[in-house]
C-alpha cells in the first residue's frame, strides 16, 4: 500500500470538502441571473411565448394550416416530428392542446421565422372547430414548444425511414419531407399514407413538391380505402403494402388515429420488426369501445369527482367513459396536458380515494407511481366516485 499517496488523497479530499462547504455557505439562495448558460437556455427555449397568426390556408377540403410568428423574439429550435402545446380558454374550459408541427425546422430560422400546424376539421371535442372560428390572421395565442421524442435520431434510427401515416398524422412527415428537400436533413423517407378518398389527403401539395424536388430521397405512396376513382394503391395500409415499399433495413415511424395504430402494431409484430425500429407518436385516447379490457358496464355512467388543488376543493361530475382530464377541462379546472397519450407525465395526479381504469394502451406510469396511487389524468377513467389531488398550474 502506498501510504504517502493515500494520505495525499485524503488531504486533497478534505480540502475540496472544506472549499465546497464554504461555497455553499456563501452561495446565493437564488440562481445567478447573469449565469450565461442559464441565460442562453432561457433565450433558446423561453417556455410559454405569445405568437400571432400570420397566415391561414386550406391544407385539404377538410383541414386548415395555421402559421404562427413570434410576437417578440424567435421560434425555439425544434426537430421534425416534435409538437407545440397551446394554452386556450374556451367558454369555461381551460385547455392545453398539442399539435405536431407541420412546417420544417429551417422555416423557424428564416429572417421572418414561423412554425405551422395543420388541423383536421370536425374532430370531436371543442378545439379544432374553435381554431376554425377564432384563429384568423392577426389573432394572438400562447404556446410552448418543442415537446416530444418522435424524431429521427441518428444514434438510434436507420437512415431509411418509412413513415406510416393516417389522416392528419401526416404532419410530422410533411415537416420531415420539407427539411429533406431543403437539404438540412440527410435521410431517405418513404411515406405510406392512408386516406379514405384522395380529397382527404392533408398537405398533399407540399408533400408532392418536396418529393418532386428530391426524388432520390423522398417517395410517396398514397393508399385509398374508399375511392373508386383512385388508380394507385387501394384498401388499408396492410402488411403487403408495407413490405412492398419498404427499403433495406428501415426504421418505421407511425402517426395516425388510434384504430390504425392497433392494426399497424400487429403488422409490425407479424413482420418481426424489432421494437427499437418501430416508433410511434403518443396516440390520443381512442374511444373507450376500442380500448381492450375497458369495462363495458361503465359506459354511460357518471360519478362524482372531488378535486383537491392546494387549499381548494371542488366537486364536479365525471363520465366513466371520458378521461379524468376531460372532466376537469369541462368543469374549467386547469390541468396541464401535453401528449394526452399517457406518456409525458405532465398531468400526473394522485388518487386519494376511489377506483380508476387506466388504459393499457397508454399506460406510461412508472412502477413506483402505480404502487403509490399516482396516475395520468389523460389516460385514466373513473369507475367509482373519486377523490384526487392535481398539480396547480
How far, in Å, CA of 285 to CA of 259, rounded?
A: 10
Residue closer to ligand FES, measured from CB, 191 or 335: 335
Is the Cβ of residue 200 or residue 336 nearer to ligand FES in the bound state? 336
- 144 counts as binding ligand FES under rule CB under 6 A: no
Whichever of 174 and 307 has its CB closer to ligand FES, that residue is 307
Q: Is 10 helix (H, G, I), strand (E, B) or coil?
A: helix
The verdict on 339 binding ligand FES (CB under 6 A) reads yes
Q: Least Å distance between CB 325 and ligand FES?
A: 7
Q: Give the chain's radius of gyration (CA, Å).
A: 24
Distance CA 19, CA 227 (A): 74
340-369 residues near ligand FES, rule: CB under 6 A:
340, 342-347, 364
The closest of 319, 316, 306 to 389, measured between CA atoms, is 306
Asked if residues 342 and 378 have their Cβ atoms less than 8 Å apart, the reply is yes
178 binds ligand FES per the rule CB under 6 A: no
Q: How far apart are CA 123 and CA 150, in angstroms?
A: 22
Task: Report, in Å, the least distance between residue 148 CB and ligand FES.
Answer: 10
Q: What's the CA gap between 196 and 214, in Å, rounded?
A: 27
Cβ atoms of 165 and 177 within 8 Å: the answer is: no
User: What's the min distance (Å) between Cβ of 343 and ligand FES?
Assistant: 6
Residue 254: alpha-carbon gap to chain centroid: 13
Distance CA 139, CA 121 (A): 19
Q: How far is the CB of 340 from ligand FES (least distance, A)?
A: 5
Q: Rounded CA gap, 258 and 320, in Å? A: 20
Span near ligand FES by CB under 6 A; candidates 167-175, 180-188, 332-340, 366-374:
332-340
Of 247 and 364, nearer to ligand FES (C-beta) is 364
Distance CA 315, CA 333 (A): 11
Query: Quick check: helix, strand or coil at residue 50?
Result: strand
Among 38-46, 235-243, 298-306, 334-342, the segment contacting ligand FES (CB under 6 A):
334-342
Among 162, 211, 378, 390, binds ligand FES (CB under 6 A): 378
**Stretch in the footprint of ligand FES (CB under 6 A) among 167-175, 235-243, 337-345, 352-360:** 337-345
- Burial (CB count <10 Å: 0-12, 13-18, 19+), residue 300: exposed
Indicate the residue among 227 and 322 with the shorter CB distance to ligand FES. 322
| Minimum CB–partner distance for residue 331 and ligand FES (Å) | 17
Nearer of residues 171 and 337 to ligand FES, judged by Cβ: 337
- 64 vs 362, beta carbon nearer ligand FES: 362
By CB under 6 A, residue 250 contacts ligand FES: no
Distance CA 285, CA 342 (A): 9
DSSP 101: B
Q: In sequence order, what are the residues at sequence separation of 6 or more whose Cβ sits closer than 8 angstroms to the Cβ of residue 219? A: 189, 190, 191, 211, 245
Q: Out of 65, 82, 337, 349, which residue is the one contacting ligand FES (CB under 6 A)?
A: 337
Task: Determine the size of the site formed for ligand FES (CB under 6 A).
Answer: 13
Q: Which is nearer to ligand FES, 60 or 96 (CB)?
A: 96
Q: Give the residue with the Cβ less far from ligand FES, 94 or 339.
A: 339
Options 14-22, 78-86, 143-151, 339-347: segment touching ligand FES (CB under 6 A): 339-347
Q: Residue 46 or 345: which CB sits closer to ligand FES? A: 345
The Cα 81–Cα 253 span in angstroms is 10
Distance in Å, CB of 98 to ligand FES, minimum: 8
User: Quick one: CA dihedral 252, 253, 258, 260, positive or negative?
Assistant: negative
Phi, psi of 270 (to 5 degrees): -65, -40
Interface positions with ligand FES (CB under 6 A): 337-340, 342-347, 364, 376, 378
Amino acid at each position: 500500500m502506498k501510504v504517502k499517496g493515500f494520505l495525499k488523497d485524503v488531504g486533497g479530499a478534505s480540502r475540496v470538502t472544506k472549499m465546497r462547504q464554504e461555497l455553499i455557505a456563501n452561495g446565493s439562495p437564488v440562481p445567478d441571473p447573469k449565469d450565461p448558460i442559464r441565460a442562453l437556455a432561457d433565450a433558446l427555449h423561453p417556455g410559454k411565448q405569445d405568437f400571432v397568426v400570420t397566415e391561414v390556408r386550406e391544407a385539404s377540403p377538410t383541414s386548415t394550416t395555421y402559421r404562427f410568428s413570434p410576437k417578440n423574439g424567435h421560434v425555439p429550435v425544434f426537430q421534425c416530428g416534435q409538437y407545440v402545446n397551446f394554452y386556450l380558454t374556451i367558454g369555461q374550459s381551460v385547455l392545453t392542446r398539442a399539435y405536431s408541427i407541420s412546417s420544417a425546422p429551417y422555416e423557424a430560422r428564416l429572417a421572418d421565422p414561423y412554425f405551422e400546424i395543420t388541423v383536421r376539421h370536425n374532430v370531436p371535442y371543442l378545439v379544432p372547430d374553435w381554431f376554425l372560428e377564432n384563429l384568423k390572421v392577426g389573432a394572438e395565442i400562447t404556446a410552448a414548444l418543442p415537446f416530444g421524442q418522435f424524431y429521427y435520431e441518428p444514434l438510434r434510427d436507420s437512415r431509411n425511414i418509412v413513415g406510416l401515416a393516417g389522416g392528419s398524422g401526416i404532419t410530422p412527415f410533411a415537416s420531415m419531407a420539407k427539411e429533406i428537400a431543403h437539404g438540412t436533413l440527410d435521410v431517405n423517407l418513404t411515406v405510406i399514407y392512408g386516406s379514405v378518398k384522395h380529397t382527404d389527403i392533408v398537405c398533399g401539395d407540399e408533400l408532392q413538391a418536396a418529393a418532386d424536388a428530391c426524388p432520390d430521397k423522398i417517395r410517396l405512396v398514397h393508399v385509398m380505402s374508399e375511392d373508386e376513382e383512385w388508380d394507385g394503391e387501394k384498401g388499408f395500409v396492410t402488411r403487403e403494402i408495407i413490405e412492398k415499399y419498404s427499403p433495406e433495413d428501415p426504421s418505421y415511424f407511425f402517426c395516425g388515429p388510434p384504430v390504425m395504430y392497433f392494426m399497424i402494431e400487429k403488422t409490425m409484430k407479424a413482420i418481426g420488426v424489432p421494437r427499437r425500429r418501430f416508433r410511434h407518436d403518443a396516440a390520443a385516447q381512442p374511444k373507450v369501445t376500442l380500448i381492450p379490457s375497458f369495462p363495458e358496464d361503465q359506459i354511460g355512467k357518471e360519478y362524482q369527482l372531488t378535486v383537491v388543488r392546494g387549499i381548494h376543493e371542488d366537486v364536479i361530475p365525471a363520465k366513466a367513459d371520458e378521461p379524468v382530464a376531460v372532466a376537469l377541462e369541462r368543469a374549467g379546472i386547469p390541468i396541464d396536458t401535453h401528449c394526452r397519450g399517457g406518456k409525458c407525465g405532465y398531468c400526473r395526479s394522485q388518487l386519494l380515494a376511489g377506483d380508476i381504469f387506466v388504459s393499457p394502451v397508454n399506460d406510461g406510469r412508472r412502477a413506483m407511481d402505480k404502487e403509490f396511487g399516482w396516475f395520468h389524468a389523460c389516460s385514466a377513467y373513473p369507475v367509482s366516485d373519486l377523490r384526487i389531488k392535481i398539480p396547480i398550474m
